[in-house]
A and B are shown apart, each in its own frame.
Chain A
Amino acid sequence: MTETVLKLSDVAYQWKGSGGFSIEVPRLEANKGETILLLGRSGSGKSTLLSLICGIVLPSSGSIEIAETELTALSRGARDRLRAEYIGVIFQQFNLLPFGSVMDNILLPLRFAPERRKRAGNIANEALRFCSALGLPDGIEHLSAEKLSVGQQQRVAVARALIGYPPLIVADEPTSALDVDSQAGFLDLLFQQIKEHGTSLLMVSHDPRLGEFFDRVINMEDIAKVGRVPA
């Protein structure tokens, strides 16, 4: 039987306040090691869905399981902790803390996740291993993050998401700041690392051309129902 890393069932979320919008996701699952591309235009509720999965916001009804833990039953602090332990997050761009070194940035999530830190073992060595595996030049770990190129920043962000092997990586348009050639190179590296560690990937994008890289492509419209509540 395949392990389920992410399982949403009958999730409904209602933005608080008047004129807000609502989103319903009857069903979304990700198995261990599976890579999923979630396609959607802006306003399709992608960001809200990611916030729900990451436990930043709580659904008004339904169930969200991360690595077989029911998210909705947890307190806010415990949800933050769960995110730190089990989910690696990659953003669109400007991913890194500019004043920190590359090393600081890669080790950042481990500060909030003691178990993940334990899994990572020798964390400095792990960080260096990721750096070289992602094709970053030697000695880059001491550089300040703001000195890096956008491509390098994205690779550091991947290292940061992967360190300590969280079972799920959530990526929000990580390639949108890269040109087409870099996009392919970046995805190759990302997938190589993900396959190696059996990590699941849920990536959100508006670009259907990326579909060929993924095990599964899901359109937002197919899984989510977005509604605007009249004021």
Chain B
Amino acid sequence: MTVGMTILAIALSVALFLGVEKVRTGAKASFADTISGTDLIVGARSGSVQLLLYSVFRIGNATNNVTWQSYQDIASRREVDWIVPISLGDSHRQFRVMGTDPAFFEHYKYRQGRSLAFAQGKIMEDLFDTVIGAEVAATLNYSIGDPIVVAHGLASFTEHKDQPFQISGILERTGTPVDRTLIVSLEAIEAIHVDWRSGSQIPGQSTPVDVIRQMDLTPKAVTAALVGVESPLQTFALQRSINEYPEEPLLAILPGVALQELWSIVGIAETALLAVSAMVVVTALIGMMATIFSSLNERRREMAIFRAMGARPRTIMSMLVFEAMMTAAIGALLGLGFLYIGLIIAQPLVDQAFGLWLPIEAPGSYEIVAILAVIFAGAIVSLAPALRAYRMSVADGMMVKN
């Protein structure tokens, strides 16, 4: 009974510990999976983490734009296989609006090369069509054909009322910031800003939609660009030449490197969480130690019988240590079982709710090392009561005072 409780405590703590690690690596992988297949991200010169945050995670804002001229220059370079522009700055409710071109749907990849897929509808065809992410659709309860008015800037009250959009497609959930994005064409971004100059609407001016459709809507600038190179070998040369682009201060980053940099900042909190769950395991093991201590008196007779049969005090001590190791081992393995049961139940839920994909894999070296460490710690922790048992069995011999 007490042994069962001890095993359960160890099992739960081990499950928690392994679960936290699972979520941690899952989150990290998910993080890294946000963008794949892109070799370089180009934006105005700022910090690499900042560029990554606003271009991929839609966090924070660009300090400056990349002129259309520079964009064209980069696009026309030999090394560039494809380039996708990104234009940010507007929003709809709490979600951001991103201007891009249809190549985005072709080249944007997440989770090891998966492409965006449509849950409903299709890519935008008309100037005022928009494709929305799964979370946008779910949160705002939108469906195909619904009209949308885009607000200027973020958390702003001025809206581009005169040019409403229509939803042409809804994307499947990806677990990336795309889920929280409304995608429009680059021209549309230009179109809704026809009557705007330096961030505010020109008073009294409202160009009719029909007129806008006739205008040249070539953008003057983009916020950032995703670039794929012809050959991975050229990535660094291209990055260097963009960073040294003489006409405009630009910055090209390798998404993987920037993600690492970002992770090293976010990772501290994750490590703290892991440390806390490790402390829970230690607590469970100390609980086991207390249980062994309190059982020693009940087991005096048993120890005396062993002694009478010829067992050495050392044998009795090692029996207790072995028992503790078995308890820890059963607890740890049961914890691993709990983890998998938990994963099987939680995997679809977590994916749905957070877009976090927790892979169910055979226990890796991490799990094996963790379990061995728990067993070893169990042995260490049991040394104190085992030593006491040793002394008791030397003192008692084969006689037990009733």
Given A51-B399, A112-B315, 15 more pairs with CB closer than 8 A: A51-B397, A57-B397, A76-B312, A77-B314, A80-B307, A80-B312, A84-B309, A84-B310, A89-B308, A91-B308, A97-B305, A109-B310, A111-B309, A112-B309, A112-B312
| Neighbouring A residues of B310 by C-beta, 8 Å | 80-81, 83-85, 109, 112-113
Most-contacted residue by chain B among A50, A51, A89 (CB, 10 A): A89
Specify which chain B residues have a CB less than 8 angstroms from the CB of A8 in the assembled complex.
Answer: none
Task: Assess the A91–B305 pair: CB atoms within 8 A.
Answer: yes
Instruction: List A residues 36-61 near B (Cβ within 8 Å).
Output: 47, 50-51, 54, 56-57
A95, CB-defined interface residue at 8 Å: yes
Q: Is A94 an interface residue (CB 8 A)?
A: yes
Residue among A47, A96, A112 making CB contact with B311, cutoff 8 Å: A112
User: Once the chains are docked, how many angstroms separate the CA of A51 from the CA of B397?
Assistant: 7
**In the bound complex, do residue B307 and residue A77 qualify as a contact, i.e. CB atoms below 8 Å apart?**
no
Q: Closest A-chain residue to B308, C-beta based? A: A89
Is A108 interfacial (CB 8 A cutoff)? yes
Q: Are A95 and B305 within 8 A (Cβ)?
A: yes
Using CB atoms and an 8 Å cutoff, list the residues of chain B in contact with chain A.
301-302, 305-312, 314-315, 397-399
Write out, one digit per residue, whether chain A residues 92-124 have a CB within 8 A of any chain B CB (1) or not (0). 001111000000000011011100000000000
User: A83's closest neighbor in chain B, by CB?
Assistant: B310
- Residues A94 and B309 in contact, CB atoms below 8 Å apart: no
Number of A-B contacts (CB under 8 A): 53
- Find chain A residues with CB under 8 A from B312 CB: 76-77, 80-81, 112
> Could you say which of A54, A57, A81, A94 contacts B308, with CB atoms under 8 Å apart?
A54
Sort A-B residue pairs by CB-CB distance and give the 5 closest, nearest first. Answer: A84-B310, A56-B397, A112-B310, A89-B308, A109-B309
Min CB distance B280 to A, Å, is 30
Instruction: Tell me whether A108 and B399 are in contact in the complex, defined as CB-CB below 8 angstroms, given that A94-B301, A97-B302 are known contacts.
Output: no
Contacts of B307 in A (CB 8 A): 56, 80
Q: In the assembly, what is the distance between CA of A77 and CA of B315, in Å?
A: 10
**What residue of chain B has the Cβ atom nearest to residue A99's Cβ?**
B302
B314 nearest in chain A by CB position: A77
Query: Are B398 and A89 interface neighbours, CB within 8 A?
Result: yes
The 22 listed contacts between A and B (C-beta, < 8 Å) are: A50-B398, A54-B397, A54-B398, A56-B307, A56-B398, A76-B312, A80-B310, A80-B311, A81-B310, A83-B310, A84-B311, A89-B308, A91-B308, A91-B398, A95-B305, A96-B305, A97-B302, A108-B305, A111-B309, A112-B311, A112-B312, A160-B309
Residues of B within 8 Å of A96, CB to CB, are 305
Chain B residues within an 8 Å CB radius of A81: 310, 312
Q: Which of chain B's residues has its CB closest to A170's CB?
A: B308
Do A108 and B309 have beta carbons less than 8 Å apart?
yes
Q: Which residue of B lies closest to A108 (CB)?
A: B309
Q: Are B309 and A51 in contact (CB under 8 A)?
A: no
Query: Which A residues touch B305, using CB under 8 A?
Result: 91, 95-97, 108
User: Are A47 and B399 in contact (CB-based, < 8 A)?
Assistant: yes
Residues of A near B306 (CB, < 8 A) are 108
- With contact pairs A94-B301, A97-B302, A112-B315 given, residues A89 and B397 touching in the complex (Cβ less than 8 Å): no
Closest A residue, CB atoms, query B304: A91
List chain B residues, Cβ under 8 A from A85.
Answer: 310
**CA gap between A47 and B399 in the complex, in Å:** 7
A111 to B306, CA, bound (A): 10
Hey, which chain A residues are within 8 Å of B308, CB to CB? 54, 83, 89, 91
In the complex, the chain B residue whose C-beta lies closest to that of A47 is: B399
A223 to chain B, nearest CB (A): 20
Residues from chain B with Cβ under 8 Å of A50 in the complex: 398-399
Bound-state CA distance A108–B112 (Å) is 60
